[in-house]
Chain A
């Protein structure tokens, strides 16, 4: 087998592996589903957390996502990637929870509080990867908290595009698929969302 063929095989391996797992899931293979869940549960959980701002609610929402995904796997037509499909379910579930709650969760984070088995929404002990000195790490963490609160003050439509783009690092095309809107809508919402965040944070950033 030539080098090009080997390379092509390797490139396809990741996608094929996931396709195989999805096929197995459709046959009711729970372990295959667990493999997919293990691969993506952090992303789904963090998307929910950044939308809802509450650890336990995010935990519940993320569980809902995978329960619904398991029940609906037969209907997944692979017109998008599996992860994009999961994100779409996540956004739907989170939006419903936000409507049910009709309240703003308070983000109580103490900069001095130790991590309590992951109960706090921001991990205090993990330094941001750009920090070079403790005081600068603290400053960046303070900015993160303020940005986090500013994001939570956005309406759902604007909050979701910021979370998907600037935290989950989805492309514009992927966001359009997740939200079932066109790319122009994604661009305008993201522009507006960032503009509102800048307005909220103009004294600190």
Chain B
């Protein structure tokens, strides 16, 4: 392996994204190349510093502000914000309001029109073809008649028109498209369809469903009582069965340490500092290409839970801790070493990759959630 290739793969090597063959070639190259080793040390340290950055606390009244906005902001304001967001400059709110009114007027008038008749298109040879679908109209008829989704509908229409003109959907293809199965409609263009960022972003954002329908906006809610007061009322109400800890739940909520989940009128308490689950632990270890994992159930007498034993490379320690920290809590049975540059940097300034690849035994437990 040459240095150029090694440098291009350093990022993936650090994240454990290389297959075993390239991983081995990288390690062999790093052993004999002080320059590349130094580059690895540099990127490792930079990533470690980023991993160690503490998260900032959101404002204490964040939830209240969101709830107040949901309750007080009229449904058309959301549309307005999204429309204004399309342009690079801020519009004065008055101008934006006038524009929103115009857009709404156009939208409402369109809804009153009859369905658009079937369109015809010319193919390359000039012969007339009939598109066996009234796609844009069908989608708009399917869509929920709420203005906050207006922007979505415009985007859907644009996406539909683009697909129709480019791929000349027949009736069969249109069915696939209406089902949102773009790849089945045109498998030869599958990659292109998959990479259509706009449509996929719409899908991911939940603004457009896979069948082309647009999300229905929930009706505006009544003024929301703060969560703490709601819980107090619930605790005081004889109609709702509450656990003996309900009063403690209310108190702890003020400290922000607990959340209360309402499942079918039964109040439960769970800690905001959640325990990492077994599935999450296995998922993290799999992503880090950790093998030889041993699992052992801990008996009830010892506190109950699952004990994990495995070995990881020294360079993976900070990555593992950072990932687990973001997910929740684990209990370290064996303290993990702190990874410092001095540990893997020689006096000459080079790096000994063997040190970074040194295997560290790890023992930790996932305790059952209380």
Contact = CB atoms under 8 A, between A and B. Distances in A.
B23 interface: no
Given A72-B205, A89-B206, A205-B46, 15 more contacts: A10-B278, A37-B66, A38-B259, A68-B205, A69-B206, A74-B218, A130-B339, A140-B49, A162-B50, A167-B53, A169-B51, A169-B322, A169-B326, A180-B197, A191-B12
Interface string A168-200: 110110000110111000010011001101100
Top-9 shortest CB links A-B: A75-B215, A75-B206, A180-B200, A45-B58, A191-B11, A96-B85, A166-B50, A72-B206, A11-B279
Contacts of A30: 67, 70, 221, 224
A143 B217 CA distance: 45
A67 B73 contact: yes
A158 interface: no
A118 B43 CA distance: 30
Contacts of B58: 41-42, 45, 59, 62, 118
Interface string B35-59: 0000100110111111111111111
Contact of B56 (A55, A66, A128): A55
Contact of B11 (A55, A99, A187): A187
A166 B51 contact: yes
Interface of B: 8, 10-12, 15, 17, 39, 42-43, 45-60, 62-63, 65-67, 69-70, 73, 78, 81, 85, 88-90, 148, 194-195, 197, 200-201, 203-210, 214-219, 221, 224, 227, 230, 259-263, 270, 272, 274, 277-280, 287, 297, 306, 318, 322-323, 326, 338-340, 368-369
B63 A100 contact: no
Contacts of A49: 56
Contact of B12 (A140, A143, A168, A187): A187
A191 B9 CA distance: 8
Contact of B59 (A59, A121, A165, A166): A59
Contacts of A105: none
A100 B218 contact: no
16 contacts: A7-B297, A11-B277, A20-B263, A28-B218, A31-B227, A35-B259, A45-B62, A71-B215, A75-B209, A79-B203, A88-B201, A100-B89, A100-B90, A167-B51, A181-B195, A201-B46
Nearest to B272: A38
A100 B88 contact: yes
Contacts of B215: 71-72, 74-75
Given A100-B88, A171-B287, A85 B54 contact: no
A129 to B, nearest CB: 6
Contact of A198 (B43, B65, B278, B340): B43
Contacts, number: 224
Nearest to A60: B65
Which among B56, B208, B262 has the greatest number of chain A C-beta atoms within 10 A? B56
B272 A39 contact: yes
Contacts of A69: 206
Nearest to A28: B218
B209 to A, nearest CB: 6
Given A17-B261, A67-B69, A88-B204, A147 B56 contact: no
B148 A88 contact: no
Interface string A44-85: 011001000001000100111011111111111101100001
Nearest to A178: B204
Contacts of B52: 128-130, 140, 144
Contacts of A165: 15
Interface of A: 3, 7, 10-11, 13-15, 17, 20-21, 24, 28-32, 34-35, 37-39, 41-43, 45-46, 49, 55, 59, 62-64, 66-77, 79-80, 85, 88-89, 92, 96, 99-100, 102, 118, 121-123, 126, 128-130, 132, 140, 143-144, 147-148, 162, 165-169, 171-172, 177-178, 180-182, 187, 190-191, 194-195, 197-198, 201-202, 205
Nearest to B224: A30
B46 A194 contact: yes
Given A45-B58, A68-B78, A166 B47 contact: yes
Nearest to A142: B49
Contacts of B259: 35, 38-39
A99 B89 CA distance: 8
A29 B50 contact: no
Nearest to A177: B204
A165 to B, nearest CB: 8
Given A38-B259, A130-B52, A198-B42, A71 B63 contact: no
A123 B53 CA distance: 10
Contacts of B318: 130
Contacts of B272: 38-39
A123 B54 CA distance: 8
B313 to A, nearest CB: 17
A172 B338 CA distance: 26
B105 to A, nearest CB: 23
B56 A118 contact: yes
A147 B50 contact: yes
A132 B338 contact: yes
B205 A41 contact: no
